[in-house]
Amino acid sequence: MLISTEGSKPDAILNYARALQNNSKYSEAKEQYIKYAESNPAVSTVQKNLWLQSCDSAVKWMQNPKNVTINNEKGLNSLQSDWGAVKYLNGIVYTSDRTNKISETAAAASRPFLKFDGATKVPDTRTYGWTGNDYLRLYERQERDSLKLFPLNPGTKYHIGNASFSNDAKKVFFSITQIPAQIIRKKGEPATINIELYSSEMDSNGNWGEAKSFRYNNANAYSVGDPYLSNDGNTLYFVSNMPGGSGGTDIYKCERNPDGTWGDAQNQSQLNTPGNERSPAQNAMGEFSFSSDGFPGMGGLDIFTLESNGKVTNLGYPLNSPQDDFAFYKSSKTDGFLSSNRPGGLGSDDIYSFIEAKMLAFMLTGKVYDK
């Protein structure tokens, strides 16, 4: 099908280019990106080259796929959004806005912030207005047990997002949205309530304690989310659009002080771009991964690793797709989970497992004769 963009507004051309890229039509996408750049003097040469390089790289990656097996985890996924799977004890904890038949609360999310008039009423606690689904909740599945709500006491009726656990599984960091005690908004504009980070510790009876607010929370001004606690428990990574960043959401880290408090937020400038960075994580092998739409990629968010020499490397296809790929969690040297809204899923975002093929080494012995 041919679509003419003659006379189209620049933003329409850009949206069309992105749609083509998200559908693996990279040659056509390049044409529209060039057209958009020519029609909009504000587009820098760097940005234009990023779009074109992304399209060229995607073609190369798809022609040379990595030896990785990707499987949709249908036992975890629903018709709604399911993402952010991490290992917990002998099972898995993840985030979903599925229709919740377990609790009395019903509501949803693809935009994790809340927006409302801020004066006459607050958002419905049963249904998330942006999507009509349930609000995001944390779910748990242990081995052969059925799926159940993760038993936190977050103190909110709104979103409860992705989690990161300490190595001993007795401390958890997670993101929420809630109505602050004082709502700050510009006159005549809706109030936007941003994401906050909270933590909870397990008591001696095996119950999760009261949720504690992270020092950088400021729900009226910016979001703080996507927590990741390092293996030794002394470094907390997160993403935020707080002032002073590179643009969009940036990756930050804080170091734990001797008294247990968290130090200053350090912007990880080597990872951050004018775009959006998400899902920082570091596996047991010391490999650091994150998602971004600001480096050359296949489309949407791509998954990257930070090499020991400081180089940022795209994980290629099929770990990445022309859609959003994020929440990369590697539980061993060869397998783990990622989340994606790539075609063929059950719902919006789905959880996928992956297994990387092991490299086989052979030692050959024999004699070589020269004829």
Instruction: Evaluate whether residue 1 is within a structural domain.
Output: no
Examine the pLDDT at 2 and tell me if it is beyond 60: no
Contact 191, 185 (CB under 8 A): yes
99 and 54 fall within a common domain: no
Output the pLDDT for position 35.
97
Tell which of 44, 63, 82 closes a domain: 63
- Residues of the domain holding 34: 10-63
Whether residue 3 is predicted with pLDDT greater than 50 in this model: the reply is no
**What's this model's pTM, rounded to 2 decimal places?**
0.89
Each residue's pLDDT tens digit, 294-330: 999 999 999 999 999 999 999 999 999 999 999 999 9
pLDDT for 83-130, tens place per residue?
999 999 999 999 999 986 444 333 333 445 555 544 456 677 767 766
Domain-embedded: residue 21: yes
35 and 147 together in one domain: no
Q: Which residues lie across from 336 on neighbouring strands? A: 330, 354
Last residue of a domain, one of 63, 87, 102: 63
In degrees rounded to 5, what are phi and psi of residue 326? -160, -175
155 and 30, same structural domain?
no
Residue 362: inside a domain: no
At residue 235, φ and ψ (nearest 5 deg) are -130, 130
pLDDT at 134: 86
Note whether 58 and 144 are same-domain residues: no
- CATH number for the domain including 322? 2.120.10
Same domain, 231 and 324: yes
Residue in this structure with the two tokens 């009226």, named with its chain if needed: 220
Counting the structural domains of the chain, the total is 2
Three-state DSSP class for 183? Answer: coil
Alpha-carbon distances, residue 227 vs 11, 72, 137, 181, 199 (angstroms): 33, 24, 15, 24, 10
- Quick one: pLDDT at residue 143? 86
Residues 190, 47 within the same domain: no
pLDDT tens for 134-144 read 899 999 999 87
Residue 165 belongs to a domain = yes
- Say if 4 falls within a structural domain: no
Q: DSSP class of residue 314? A: E
| pLDDT recorded at residue 4 | 46
At 25-41, the pLDDT tens digits run 999 999 999 999 999 99
DSSP 8-state code for residue 226 = E
pLDDT digits (tens, 9 = 90+) for 263-291: 999 999 999 999 999 999 999 889 999 99
> What's the pLDDT score for residue 181?
84
Residues 6+ apart with CB under 8 A from 91: 140, 141, 142, 143, 145
When pLDDT is averaged across residues 64-89 and rounded to a whole number, the result is 97
Q: Is the peptide bond before 154 cis (omega within 30 degrees of 0)?
A: no
For residues 229 and 110, membership in a common domain is answered with yes
